[in-house]
Structure 1
Amino acid sequence: MAQAPAKAILSGEHSVVYGAPALALAVNCYAQARVQSIESAELVLQLTDLDRCFRYNWPEVIKRAEDAESRYQRFLLGNCPITEVLVGTDDLYLFAIAALIKDLSLNHCPGILLQLRSDIPVGSGMGSSAATVAAMLIGVAKLIGVELTQQRLYQLTHHAERLQHGRSSGIDPAVCCYGGLIHFSDGVIDPRSLEFGDGWFLLDSGKPAVTTGVGVEQVRKNFAGSDIWDEFSQITGKMATALREMNQGQLIKQIRLNHRLLCRIGVVPDPIQQLVADIEQAGGAAKVSGAGAVAGDQAGLILVYHPQLSESSLSHLALQPLKVDCLGAWVQNADSVDDLSCDGANDDY
């Protein structure tokens, strides 16, 4: 069994796509992959959360991956929306497995049963797709006798993540693979101290009406050449300093400034802006932690910081204490089974 954690961004949403630095950490909510060998020379994929099961021969896996890559290239040329790159619920996973096979130069692929499940809310901005892919890749690699380094696992996960989000910065795969608190800039992963004090909480505002990929593209159209990303960079730098010095006042100030920048680029719906205003009125700070939303009333994950929460008037909110995962993606020994029945195979194209 393999697993990888979710992520929360402290500072640098969207700006990280344009090379600005970001601070993010892994949280204790997980995607899991159970990988087993089977006698038949095929891939059996079970998406447990969706109650779906698929069977493929290996040439079919490779062909599906090539088709997905072709659609992604059309997206880059402006001839295909990001929402049409992955046409099946299984496309992302087939692409990632095919990339692993190619990377390892495998001439013969064994029979594999792959069962995927996740406790990470889909579309919440917590990196559910990256975590699932990372857990799957490290599990499959282990089954065939290969130990992937954190860096190689990150690279393979990021390679697949492009198809999900269009122009992925790589921060989701970085956090899911490495765990802990990281500073991320232009693909450079810099682990940081985990001593960041109390008063951190997460709040799920609900699944956004549009995907992360759609949001990223909308922001790109409006702000790709803007100097607003320099403002994001300055805030991330000051956040890093405030964390190092455990300066509560500066942390509150920088999170509030970050929130206002996210409002300016249009990824904070009006109801979420009101929610953040209420938290600020109570003495805290909050911001979307992820892509947010360019449409609808919900924005996924909200990061809340309030060192004196017990004395505030926020008891009506379903706040969850932020708990950090320090391990990143990891795998135990794989199991083996002799046979498997799979009803409804290949019925979700």
Structure 2
Amino acid sequence: MSQDRRARSVGIGRAHAKAILLGEHAVVYGAPAIALPMVQLTATASAGWSSHAGDARGGLSFTMTGSASRAVVTQASDGLQRLAAAFTEHMGVEGRPHLDVILDGAIPPGRGLGSSAANSRAIVLALADLFGRELTDGTVFDLVQTAENMTHGRASGVDAMAVGASAPLLFQAGRAQELAVGCDGLFIVADSGTAGSTREAVELLRDGFARGAGARERFLRRATQLTEEARQALAEGLAQELGERLTGYHELLRAAGLSTGRIDAMVGAALGAGSLGAKITGGGLGGCVLALTQPDQAREVARHLHDAGAVQTWVVPLRRLPRHAH
């Protein structure tokens, strides 16, 4: 039987967005980070056999639906072509079949929400479904991480794991574990309307570290302290303390030059409307604000965020989750 036995006519794969609660930038240096899955913002891919049967080279026809700009589509297409090639090579698929992939992504790019990792994961799972292959979590991670490294330079791996997670994750040095959650609450994620640049932010931070003796160590020490205290507050259900750590991490990133005027205005608006804590989330220099809010204040917080410049908001529930036995 041929190795690329056509198990199905269409393969489907899904993944979702994520937001970093704390640990941006520090995670690349081995410090911990906490990631929150945003399951209501999804990427869905479908993969099918192409009618381009005459193309001896094989390859991938890629279509992106939604409102993404042409530049985003072109950039994504290049990376995903290579991702498809890596998949077929890894799975030992023979004959380089020509495939049509359609990606329906609701996750806005460049906002720190993991759109590139979610798109890659959805496509990997769609191809696996099409070829009737079972992939281990490790294989999916490795394939997504390959694409992430092409997109972002050196990627920490947190996005590649978080876009498939069902609970908040603590991520450190390439390993992830589900976190205990001791309280219910809501996060409001607000899009500033401006794409950030992870690469630019990483370089800005690195330059800052190079200019001051001990600057890197101080940044990492404070980042690690805030993230660890937030993990404890999350486990013990101390929402007020969790919120304070979020705001503290925003101050850390702002002091490093990674925020913007609009982001700072949105953080101030969320706090002014009664949020327990608020911060920029993701690489910085644009992107989104994340605010921890009591359910009865969510409408007011969302309204203030929009007044301060948010172009759209999403509500992400935080659910009590006992510590797992493993």
After TM superposition, the score normalised by the length of structure 1 is 0.75
Aligned to 1:62: none
Shift of 1:174: 0.6
Q: SS at 1:160's partner residue?
A: helix
In structure 2, the partner of 1:322 is 316
Deviations 1:28-87 (A, max 9, x none): 20111011123526332222236999xxxxxxxxxxxxxxxxxxxxxxxxxxxxx9xx98
The answer for the alignment partner of 1:291 in structure 2 is 283
**Residues of 1 paired with 2:68 and 2:146: CA distance?**
27
Q: CA, structure 1 residues 31+323, in 2 after alignment: closer, same or farther (shift >3 Å)?
A: farther
Shift of 1:121: 0.8
Partners of 2:68 and 2:230 in 1: how far apart? Answer: 42
Q: Which residue of 1 aligns with 2:216?
A: 226
SS at the partner of 1:2? Answer: strand
Assess, with a 3 A threshold, how the Cα gap between structure 1 residues 179 and 216 changes in structure 2: closer, same or farther.
Answer: farther
Written as runs of structure 1 = structure 2, the 5 A alignment for 1:74-93 is 88-93=75-80
Count of residue pairs brought into register by the alignment: 288
Q: Partners in 1 of 2:300 and 2:126 — Cα distance? A: 45
Give 1:194 shift: 5.1
Residue type at the aligned position of 2:220: W
Report deviation, 1:216. 2.0
Compute the displacement of 1:311 (Å).
8.9
Residues 1:146 and 2:133 aligned together: yes
> Aligned-pair distance for 1:309?
5.1
CA contact (8 A) 2:183 2:239 kept: no
Letter in 2 for 1:286: A
Q: Give the distance between the partners of 1:133 and 1:195, measured in 2 at CA.
A: 32
Secondary structure (helix, strand or coil) at the match of 1:193 reads: coil
- In structure 1, the partner of 2:44 is 32
The answer to whether 1:44 aligns with 2:45 is no
Larger relative contact order, structure 1 or 2 (CA cutoff 8 Å, min sep 6)? 1
1:298-334 CA-to-partner distances (Å, cap 9, x unmatched) read x212110122653996333344321479xxxxxxxxx
Any idea what SS the aligned residue of 1:34 has? strand
Report 1:1-349 matches (<5 A).
1-27=12-38, 28-39=40-51, 40=53, 42=58, 43-49=60-66, 88-193=75-180, 196-208=183-195, 210-223=196-209, 226-227=216-217, 228-284=219-275, 285-293=277-285, 299-307=286-294, 310=297, 314=301, 315-318=303-306, 319-323=313-317
Structure 2 unaligned residues grouped into runs of 5+: 1-11, 307-312, 320-326
Runs of 4+ in 1 over 4 A off after TM superposition: 50-53, 86-89
State the distance in 2 between where 1:46 and 1:313 align: 39
Distance 1:138 1:195, change over 3 A: farther
| Contact 2:47/2:99 (8 A) holds in 1 | yes
RMSD over equivalenced CA pairs, Å: 2.7
Structure 1 residues 175-184 or 278-287, which shifts more? 278-287
Task: Please tell me whether the aligned partners of residues 48 and 117 of structure 1 are also in contact (alpha carbons under 8 angstroms).
Answer: yes
